[in-house]
Amino acid sequence: MRARDLTPGPEQDRPGPGQQAAFYVARAAGGEPLAFAEVALFGEFAALALMVSRPDRQPDSSLARYQLHTCLALDLGSCGARHLLTGSALTETDGTQYFQHLLGYQARNLRVRVIPSRAA
């Protein structure tokens, strides 16, 4: 994250009450991190909160990011997540869209609706 001028803030240090998060790191053979991902978990839903790779270690970090994403998707599926929410698929490059297609992703439009709790 520091190689990309990103600094973890308090909200990235640990999940809030009742929330769960999964963190993934892909490392080079020498142990240095090449790519990092953070996923928020909500039952059968998971939301990709962050995925970054080191810009100073190309092409290794780019390849590590693809491998990390594949591992992340398989791991979440084995833990019961059925849906992985990300940003817009339409803004991705053709290569990334093809990779996502190979992994079985399907682009969907979501409409989020906030439902007030019964306690309120």
pLDDT at 116 over 80: yes
Mean pLDDT in residue range 35-43: 90
Domains of the chain with CATH codes: 2-102 (3.40.630.30)
pTM given for the model: 0.70
Average pLDDT, the chain: 80
Residues forming a β-bridge with 46: 41, 84
Residues 9, 16 contacting (CB under 8 angstroms): no
| 18: its two tokens | 């009742």
Residues 9-28: pLDDT tens digits? 444 444 445 558 888 999 99
Percentage of the chain beyond pLDDT 90 is 22
Kindly state the tokens that stand for 118: 């019964």
Instruction: Give per-residue pLDDT as tens, 41-71.
Output: 888 889 998 888 999 999 999 899 889 988 8
